[in-house]
Amino acid sequence: MTTIAFIGLGHMGLPMARNLLKAGHELKVFDLVQSAMQELAAEGAQAASSAEAAAKGAQVVISMLPASRHVEGLYLGDKGLLAALEPGTLVLECSTIAPEVARKVHQAAQARGIELLDAPVSGGTAGAAAGTLTFMIGGTATTLEKARPLFGLMGKNILHAGAAGAGQVAKVCNNQVLAVQMIATAEAMAMGVANGLDPSVLAEIMRQSSGGNWTLEKYNPWPGVMEAAPASKGYSGGFMAELMAKDLGLAQEAAQHSGSSTPMGALALQIYRLLLKQGKGKKDFSVVQQLFIE
Protein backbone atom coordinates (compact mmCIF):
# COMPACT_ATOMS: atom_id res chain seq x y z
CA MET A 1 0.00 0.00 0.00
CA THR A 2 1.29 3.42 -0.97
CA THR A 3 0.25 6.74 0.56
CA ILE A 4 -0.73 8.96 -2.33
CA ALA A 5 -1.62 12.66 -2.34
CA PHE A 6 -4.04 13.40 -5.19
CA ILE A 7 -4.48 17.07 -6.09
CA GLY A 8 -7.28 18.12 -8.46
CA LEU A 9 -10.49 16.08 -8.41
CA GLY A 10 -12.29 17.35 -11.50
CA HIS A 11 -13.82 15.41 -14.37
CA MET A 12 -10.64 13.35 -14.72
CA GLY A 13 -8.93 13.47 -11.33
CA LEU A 14 -11.88 12.16 -9.35
CA PRO A 15 -12.34 8.88 -11.26
CA MET A 16 -8.55 8.40 -11.47
CA ALA A 17 -8.21 8.84 -7.71
CA ARG A 18 -11.13 6.47 -7.18
CA ASN A 19 -9.32 3.68 -9.06
CA LEU A 20 -6.27 4.06 -6.80
CA LEU A 21 -8.50 3.98 -3.74
CA LYS A 22 -10.32 0.87 -4.96
CA ALA A 23 -6.95 -0.86 -5.41
CA GLY A 24 -6.29 -0.40 -1.69
CA HIS A 25 -3.94 2.57 -1.61
CA GLU A 26 -4.19 5.23 1.08
CA LEU A 27 -5.39 8.46 -0.52
CA LYS A 28 -5.11 12.00 0.80
CA VAL A 29 -6.95 14.33 -1.53
CA PHE A 30 -7.21 18.07 -2.12
CA ASP A 31 -9.29 20.20 -4.47
CA LEU A 32 -10.44 23.81 -4.23
CA VAL A 33 -13.98 22.43 -4.59
CA GLN A 34 -15.20 20.87 -1.32
CA SER A 35 -17.87 18.64 -2.83
CA ALA A 36 -15.33 16.71 -4.93
CA MET A 37 -13.28 15.93 -1.81
CA GLN A 38 -16.38 14.93 0.15
CA GLU A 39 -17.40 12.48 -2.55
CA LEU A 40 -14.10 10.61 -2.24
CA ALA A 41 -13.95 10.99 1.53
CA ALA A 42 -17.24 9.06 1.68
CA GLU A 43 -15.42 6.24 -0.13
CA GLY A 44 -12.46 6.15 2.25
CA ALA A 45 -10.08 8.91 1.14
CA GLN A 46 -8.80 11.49 3.58
CA ALA A 47 -9.80 15.08 2.66
CA ALA A 48 -6.99 17.58 3.30
CA SER A 49 -7.14 21.30 3.98
CA SER A 50 -4.39 22.17 1.49
CA ALA A 51 -2.18 20.55 -1.12
CA GLU A 52 0.70 20.66 1.34
CA ALA A 53 -1.35 18.93 4.03
CA ALA A 54 -2.35 16.23 1.52
CA ALA A 55 1.29 15.70 0.52
CA LYS A 56 2.65 15.50 4.07
CA GLY A 57 3.98 11.97 4.55
CA ALA A 58 2.91 10.85 1.06
CA GLN A 59 5.32 8.75 -0.99
CA VAL A 60 3.65 9.77 -4.23
CA VAL A 61 1.96 12.99 -5.35
CA ILE A 62 -0.37 12.99 -8.36
CA SER A 63 -1.84 16.18 -9.81
CA MET A 64 -4.60 16.64 -12.38
CA LEU A 65 -5.18 20.37 -12.80
CA PRO A 66 -6.66 22.47 -15.62
CA ALA A 67 -3.68 24.31 -17.14
CA SER A 68 -0.04 25.50 -16.92
CA ARG A 69 -0.70 28.33 -14.50
CA HIS A 70 -2.36 26.01 -11.98
CA VAL A 71 0.58 23.60 -12.14
CA GLU A 72 3.15 26.40 -11.76
CA GLY A 73 1.11 27.80 -8.86
CA LEU A 74 0.96 24.41 -7.14
CA TYR A 75 4.59 23.33 -7.45
CA LEU A 76 6.90 26.30 -7.94
CA GLY A 77 8.13 29.15 -5.76
CA ASP A 78 9.06 29.36 -2.07
CA LYS A 79 5.55 28.37 -1.03
CA GLY A 80 5.19 25.76 -3.78
CA LEU A 81 4.74 22.07 -3.09
CA LEU A 82 8.19 21.07 -4.37
CA ALA A 83 9.76 23.11 -1.59
CA ALA A 84 7.74 21.15 0.98
CA LEU A 85 8.17 17.59 -0.34
CA GLU A 86 10.70 15.15 1.04
CA PRO A 87 13.52 14.22 -1.34
CA GLY A 88 12.69 10.84 -2.87
CA THR A 89 9.01 11.64 -3.32
CA LEU A 90 7.63 10.56 -6.69
CA VAL A 91 5.49 13.16 -8.50
CA LEU A 92 3.20 12.25 -11.40
CA GLU A 93 1.98 15.45 -13.07
CA CYS A 94 -0.91 14.36 -15.29
CA SER A 95 -2.41 17.72 -16.40
CA THR A 96 -2.09 18.88 -20.01
CA ILE A 97 0.24 21.87 -19.90
CA ALA A 98 2.88 23.66 -21.99
CA PRO A 99 5.97 21.49 -22.55
CA GLU A 100 8.24 24.32 -21.37
CA VAL A 101 6.31 24.62 -18.10
CA ALA A 102 6.61 20.86 -17.64
CA ARG A 103 10.38 21.16 -18.18
CA LYS A 104 10.57 24.01 -15.65
CA VAL A 105 8.76 21.88 -13.05
CA HIS A 106 11.04 18.91 -13.88
CA GLN A 107 14.14 21.06 -13.30
CA ALA A 108 12.83 22.41 -9.99
CA ALA A 109 12.01 18.86 -8.87
CA GLN A 110 15.42 17.54 -9.87
CA ALA A 111 17.12 20.33 -7.91
CA ARG A 112 15.34 19.05 -4.79
CA GLY A 113 15.98 15.33 -5.38
CA ILE A 114 12.36 14.68 -6.30
CA GLU A 115 11.53 12.31 -9.14
CA LEU A 116 8.92 13.70 -11.49
CA LEU A 117 7.18 12.61 -14.69
CA ASP A 118 4.97 14.65 -17.00
CA ALA A 119 2.21 12.18 -17.73
CA PRO A 120 -0.74 13.72 -19.59
CA VAL A 121 -3.54 11.35 -20.52
CA SER A 122 -5.91 10.49 -23.31
CA GLY A 123 -9.14 8.52 -23.13
CA GLY A 124 -11.63 10.98 -21.70
CA THR A 125 -13.76 10.69 -18.60
CA ALA A 126 -14.98 7.24 -19.65
CA GLY A 127 -11.35 6.04 -19.85
CA ALA A 128 -10.62 7.61 -16.47
CA ALA A 129 -13.58 5.80 -14.88
CA ALA A 130 -12.75 2.46 -16.53
CA GLY A 131 -9.04 2.72 -15.74
CA THR A 132 -8.17 2.47 -19.45
CA LEU A 133 -6.40 5.80 -20.03
CA THR A 134 -3.35 6.20 -22.22
CA PHE A 135 -0.47 7.89 -20.38
CA MET A 136 2.10 9.80 -22.50
CA ILE A 137 5.16 10.11 -20.35
CA GLY A 138 8.10 12.47 -20.27
CA GLY A 139 11.02 11.81 -17.92
CA THR A 140 13.52 9.05 -17.26
CA ALA A 141 12.81 5.38 -17.95
CA THR A 142 13.93 4.52 -14.41
CA THR A 143 11.33 6.80 -12.84
CA LEU A 144 8.70 5.49 -15.25
CA GLU A 145 9.37 1.91 -14.10
CA LYS A 146 8.86 2.98 -10.47
CA ALA A 147 5.55 4.61 -11.36
CA ARG A 148 4.31 1.91 -13.77
CA PRO A 149 2.24 -0.08 -11.21
CA LEU A 150 0.27 3.06 -10.26
CA PHE A 151 -0.21 4.12 -13.88
CA GLY A 152 -1.45 0.57 -14.52
CA LEU A 153 -4.31 1.07 -12.06
CA MET A 154 -5.50 4.15 -13.95
CA GLY A 155 -4.64 3.28 -17.53
CA LYS A 156 -3.94 0.49 -19.97
CA ASN A 157 -1.36 2.11 -22.28
CA ILE A 158 1.71 3.47 -20.52
CA LEU A 159 3.87 5.01 -23.23
CA HIS A 160 7.29 6.61 -22.83
CA ALA A 161 7.39 9.66 -25.14
CA GLY A 162 10.94 10.72 -24.22
CA ALA A 163 12.72 13.11 -21.87
CA ALA A 164 11.17 15.82 -19.67
CA GLY A 165 8.28 17.58 -21.44
CA ALA A 166 8.00 14.96 -24.21
CA GLY A 167 4.71 13.63 -22.82
CA GLN A 168 3.20 17.09 -23.25
CA VAL A 169 4.43 17.40 -26.84
CA ALA A 170 2.81 14.04 -27.69
CA LYS A 171 -0.39 15.11 -25.97
CA VAL A 172 -0.82 18.39 -27.89
CA CYS A 173 -0.14 16.59 -31.19
CA ASN A 174 -2.82 14.04 -30.30
CA ASN A 175 -5.39 16.62 -29.22
CA GLN A 176 -4.89 18.65 -32.38
CA VAL A 177 -5.84 15.53 -34.36
CA LEU A 178 -8.81 14.92 -32.06
CA ALA A 179 -10.16 18.48 -32.46
CA VAL A 180 -9.86 18.34 -36.24
CA GLN A 181 -11.62 14.96 -36.31
CA MET A 182 -14.40 16.22 -34.06
CA ILE A 183 -15.03 19.28 -36.22
CA ALA A 184 -14.91 17.23 -39.44
CA THR A 185 -17.31 14.66 -37.98
CA ALA A 186 -19.72 17.33 -36.72
CA GLU A 187 -19.92 19.12 -40.06
CA ALA A 188 -20.42 15.84 -41.96
CA MET A 189 -23.16 14.74 -39.52
CA ALA A 190 -24.98 18.05 -40.03
CA MET A 191 -24.62 17.87 -43.81
CA GLY A 192 -25.89 14.27 -43.95
CA VAL A 193 -28.89 14.97 -41.74
CA ALA A 194 -29.71 18.16 -43.68
CA ASN A 195 -29.76 15.97 -46.79
CA GLY A 196 -32.27 13.58 -45.30
CA LEU A 197 -30.20 10.89 -43.56
CA ASP A 198 -30.98 9.41 -40.18
CA PRO A 199 -28.11 10.53 -37.87
CA SER A 200 -27.61 7.04 -36.37
CA VAL A 201 -27.53 5.40 -39.80
CA LEU A 202 -25.03 7.94 -41.11
CA ALA A 203 -22.88 7.62 -37.98
CA GLU A 204 -22.73 3.83 -38.34
CA ILE A 205 -21.91 3.95 -42.06
CA MET A 206 -19.06 6.41 -41.54
CA ARG A 207 -17.83 4.47 -38.50
CA GLN A 208 -17.46 1.34 -40.66
CA SER A 209 -15.97 3.23 -43.61
CA SER A 210 -12.82 5.16 -44.41
CA GLY A 211 -14.09 8.22 -42.50
CA GLY A 212 -14.12 6.16 -39.29
CA ASN A 213 -12.35 7.80 -36.34
CA TRP A 214 -12.33 7.93 -32.54
CA THR A 215 -15.22 10.42 -32.35
CA LEU A 216 -17.40 8.08 -34.42
CA GLU A 217 -16.33 5.07 -32.34
CA LYS A 218 -16.78 6.54 -28.90
CA TYR A 219 -17.96 10.13 -28.84
CA ASN A 220 -20.44 11.00 -31.57
CA PRO A 221 -21.32 14.73 -31.39
CA TRP A 222 -24.91 14.33 -32.62
CA PRO A 223 -27.40 14.13 -29.70
CA GLY A 224 -28.99 10.72 -29.30
CA VAL A 225 -26.60 8.74 -31.51
CA MET A 226 -24.61 7.42 -28.54
CA GLU A 227 -26.47 7.24 -25.27
CA ALA A 228 -23.35 7.55 -23.10
CA ALA A 229 -21.73 10.41 -25.06
CA PRO A 230 -21.86 13.98 -23.68
CA ALA A 231 -23.87 15.01 -26.79
CA SER A 232 -26.77 12.94 -25.45
CA LYS A 233 -26.56 14.63 -22.04
CA GLY A 234 -26.82 18.27 -23.15
CA TYR A 235 -23.07 18.32 -23.84
CA SER A 236 -22.37 18.07 -20.10
CA GLY A 237 -19.51 16.12 -18.50
CA GLY A 238 -16.61 15.05 -20.69
CA PHE A 239 -13.88 17.40 -21.87
CA MET A 240 -14.69 21.10 -21.76
CA ALA A 241 -14.43 23.15 -24.96
CA GLU A 242 -12.29 25.69 -23.08
CA LEU A 243 -9.75 22.96 -22.28
CA MET A 244 -9.67 21.90 -25.93
CA ALA A 245 -9.08 25.57 -26.91
CA LYS A 246 -6.22 25.62 -24.38
CA ASP A 247 -4.67 22.48 -25.90
CA LEU A 248 -5.01 23.86 -29.44
CA GLY A 249 -3.26 27.03 -28.25
CA LEU A 250 -0.45 24.88 -26.82
CA ALA A 251 -0.22 23.06 -30.16
CA GLN A 252 0.12 26.38 -31.99
CA GLU A 253 2.88 27.40 -29.56
CA ALA A 254 4.69 24.12 -30.26
CA ALA A 255 4.30 24.70 -34.01
CA GLN A 256 5.65 28.22 -33.63
CA HIS A 257 8.59 26.87 -31.65
CA SER A 258 9.53 24.38 -34.37
CA GLY A 259 8.43 26.44 -37.40
CA SER A 260 5.93 23.69 -38.32
CA SER A 261 3.02 24.40 -40.64
CA THR A 262 -0.27 23.40 -38.95
CA PRO A 263 -3.16 24.98 -40.88
CA MET A 264 -5.76 22.47 -39.65
CA GLY A 265 -4.75 23.02 -36.04
CA ALA A 266 -4.90 26.80 -36.52
CA LEU A 267 -8.41 26.60 -37.97
CA ALA A 268 -9.54 24.24 -35.21
CA LEU A 269 -8.30 26.76 -32.62
CA GLN A 270 -10.29 29.56 -34.26
CA ILE A 271 -13.43 27.40 -34.29
CA TYR A 272 -13.06 26.57 -30.60
CA ARG A 273 -12.46 30.25 -29.76
CA LEU A 274 -15.75 31.01 -31.48
CA LEU A 275 -17.50 28.52 -29.19
CA LEU A 276 -15.95 30.21 -26.18
CA LYS A 277 -17.26 33.57 -27.39
CA GLN A 278 -20.72 31.99 -27.60
CA GLY A 279 -20.47 31.13 -23.90
CA LYS A 280 -20.06 27.38 -24.53
CA GLY A 281 -16.60 26.97 -23.01
CA LYS A 282 -17.85 24.85 -20.10
CA LYS A 283 -19.72 22.45 -22.39
CA ASP A 284 -18.11 19.27 -23.68
CA PHE A 285 -15.99 19.91 -26.77
CA SER A 286 -18.43 17.95 -28.97
CA VAL A 287 -20.71 21.00 -28.59
CA VAL A 288 -18.97 22.17 -31.78
CA GLN A 289 -21.84 20.26 -33.43
CA GLN A 290 -24.15 23.19 -32.63
CA LEU A 291 -22.17 25.52 -34.90
CA PHE A 292 -23.40 23.46 -37.83
CA ILE A 293 -27.05 22.93 -36.92
CA GLU A 294 -28.14 26.29 -35.49
Nearer to ligand NAD by Cβ, of 95 and 185: the residue is 95
Count of alpha carbons within 13 angstroms of residue 101, beta-carbon side: 19
Question: Smallest gap, in angstroms, from Cβ of residue 238 to ligand NAD?
Answer: 6
Nearer to ligand NAD by Cβ, of 35 and 142: the residue is 35
Burial string for 48-80 (b: 16+ CB within 10 Å, else e) reads beebbebbeebebbbbbbbbbebbbebbbeeeb
Q: Which residue is nearest to ligand NAD (CB)?
A: 10
Nearer to ligand NAD by Cβ, of 206 and 243: the residue is 243
Nearer to ligand NAD by Cβ, of 21 and 190: the residue is 21
Question: Smallest gap, in angstroms, from Cβ of residue 8 to ligand NAD?
Answer: 4
Footprint on this chain of ligand NAD (rule: CB under 6 A): 7-13, 30-33, 36, 51, 64-66, 70, 73-74, 95-96, 121-122, 124-125, 238-239, 243, 247
Question: Smallest gap, in angstroms, from Cβ of residue 36 to ligand NAD?
Answer: 5
Of 28, 171, 246, 283, which is the active-site residue?
171
33 conformational bin, left if phi > 0, alpha if psi -120 to 50, beta if neither: beta
Question: Smallest gap, in angstroms, from Cβ of residue 175 to ligand NAD?
Answer: 8
Nearer to ligand NAD by Cβ, of 29 and 144: the residue is 29
Question: Smallest gap, in angstroms, from Cβ of residue 126 to ligand NAD?
Answer: 9
Tell me whether residue 171 is one of the annotated catalytic residues.
yes
Tell me the β-bridge partners of 116.
91
Question: Which residues carry out catalysis?
Answer: 171
